[in-house]
Amino acid sequence: MLYTPLDSTREIRLLRVHSRSSSLKKSSVQDERNVPIYCDLYHVPLLEAKKQGYEALSYTWGTSEGAPSIQVNGTEVPVTGNLYVALQHLRGETIEVVLWVDALCINQTDDAEKNEQVKMMIDIYAYAKTTKVWLGPADDTSEETMIQLAQIGKTVIDCGAFDHFIRMTTLSIKDPPGAAQAEDQAKNLVEAMLNRSLVQLGDSIRLLTRFCNLLSRPYWSRVWILQEIVVSRNVEVYCGKLKIGFAILHAAMLYIIYMQTFISAQLAKLLIDLLEASVNGDFPPDCELKAQFDSINSAEIPQAATLVSGMRLRYHDPAQENGAMKLNLIQLLARIRVGREATDPRDKIWALLGMAVDAGVLRIIPDYADTNSCTDVYCNTTRVMITSGHVDILAFSQWIKKDPTMPSWAPDWREEVKQPFGQLPWDTPYSASGSAIFPNHVGQIVPVSYLKMHGLLVDSIESLKPPCNNGEWLSMQHRHEACAYLQDIMTLCQISNKKLVQSGEEIYADPSVRERAYQRVPVADLYSTGFVRRATIDECHLGHAEVITDYRQWKNHGPSAAAPVTNTFRSYYIMMGQQVERRPFVTVKGFVGLAPKHVEEGDVIIIFPGAKFPYVLRRCNDGIYVLVGEAFVYGLMYGELVIDDNKMEEFILK
């Protein structure tokens, strides 16, 4: 299609889609089920478009194979099959519909225009009267599912439970008692629905399964939908001919998530009663209750779909002041690190900028030129984020990278990026650099894949032990493996104590912490209570002792003599399980801790000012370092080591 250049950087194109009835009159087709699509594409200043009113389309491009055509300004234009079907469903029967559709309203062959239009997309979606989310055509079950979701969502909103469900999710970490209170209030309001879901268990399982199928459609995995849904004033979700308001869908989503938990808990109680009444301590053959329990728990509601609801709610929260609840780029990137797709992998960055509260500070400019490689984009983004103070973007970089051009220090957002140990940087209790102010020592080095930083060299790793359970998933059934891990850490602590005797120099700012190292290192000083927080001294002491006691009773007297499962016992096992990809170590000076499983003896531990975690680096033969990953170093996680600018060294990473 031949595009006329846009007259200004604040001008856009809109697509006027003719009504189905008028298109039928223009065409010569006899089959009314396949009426051609006629459109006009025209220019308009963005602010004028807002006044006139238009709707924005949010959809998945899909493949171009066998691309059908539509008529645009009298010319046949091929479009993807998914866009063609969307326009068929969304055009009016007797009235025109004015849409903004990225594939047609942006000249996709003009990089300069794309750069300018991408910067405007947040306003394009925010100014639209409505954003129409197109999930795709109906299937055998989607219509019934959409109807059920509309009914459930409306009921949850009308009875007042929606606000309590929201409070329950948003307060789960910062205010657990408040979250529990909100849960009680929500549960009371939907109690009749929950009881009915248990009585009509077959229907509940079918609803849950169909809901998961709807949220597993390719649309939800697109990275661009985050911005498109989050910033829009009004969002309608279409599947075939049926639509549902996004708030109603969100309310239904929160209820169904809670319904799944409720049913699972109730069935678990019944199964325990069944086991206790059983003669041989096992379930009867073909136990329907067990099959139903497995069905409920095996249904995984896709996080990619549920995530966008919370982000939209946070973005539009009227209670927030000065954008305090909005997310910065590192927080947004953490949310797309798994399960998000982009046709152009550089969009993993650019699709988030419009929502990032710190976009103005970072000053990252989309540039679709072929010379601006994905590696360049990811490296430059990481560098500018470190310069702005987000040092712990380093914790998202993975050791093994599929792309050999990616340096060790830059996260590759094309791959699945694992969450850093000890929670995300803004949630973690750690603060390794304490109150040290980050110096602006990051410098541009050619080539782009190099990074210069200043940090404090703490020590080098002298000796290592294997990861807990050899890096495999750990459960309470792995008693022997868990205790072998505890014994390895005890051995390292004993080595540390011998170093103190030999040198006479205490490495800990508070000498009393030394005697608790063997209890706190195995769990990286963390405790799980539904969410992760810093453990207390007593929790580490009790949890460690209970694991040892349980192992001894199990070993000497069999499973029936195992210790009772207390909260501290359970949490200690859970947090040991979080460390299975780490190796226990002791340093030359005697620090004990946990480092990434690919760590080697001789690797060095660095604390960068502004960082929550210490980092492990490996010196190469050319004197340049590679990043190994973030670490837990007992006695240095809460700013105990005062960082003196005069003692910092320069490290060049590649």
Residue 483: pLDDT over 80: yes
Range 154-183 average pLDDT:
87
pLDDT in tens, 452-481: 999 999 999 999 999 999 999 998 889 999
Helix 201-215 vs helix 246-277: crossing angle, to nearest 10: 130
Which range (61-75, 93-107, 202-216) has the least confidence? 61-75
d(CA 296, CA 298): 6
Give the pLDDT band (50/70/90) at residue 325: low
Is residue 342 within 8 A of residue 348, CB to CB? The reply is yes
Token pair in block for residue 188: 């009371």
Identify the pLDDT of residue 323: 44
Dihedral pair phi/psi, residue 311, rounded to 5°: -65, -40
Residue 51: pLDDT over 90: yes
Range 36-55 average pLDDT:
96
Residue 276: pLDDT over 80: no
Residue 504: pLDDT over 60: yes
Range 297-305 average pLDDT:
87
Q: What is the dihedral of CA 512, 613, 330, 315, to 10 degrees?
A: -10
Is residue 500 within 8 A of residue 590, CB to CB? The reply is yes
What kind and span of H or E run contains 415? none
Range 22-31 average pLDDT:
79
Is residue 420 within 8 A of residue 392, CB to CB? The reply is yes
Residue 404: pLDDT over 70: yes
Dihedral pair phi/psi, residue 463, rounded to 5°: -145, 145
d(CA 310, CA 376): 31
pLDDT: is 170 or 354 the higher one? 354
Give the pLDDT band (50/70/90) at residue 159: very high
Residue 30: pLDDT over 70: no
Positive or negative, the Cα torsion across 5, 7, 10, 12? Answer: negative
Q: Which of 357, 361, 344 is nearest to 223 (CA)?
A: 344
The pLDDT > 90 percentage for the chain reads 72
DSSP symbol at 504: -
Give the pLDDT band (50/70/90) at residue 484: very high
Beta bridge partners of 460: 604
Identify the pLDDT of residue 31: 65
Which range (32-36, 242-246, 260-264, 324-328) has the least confidence? 324-328
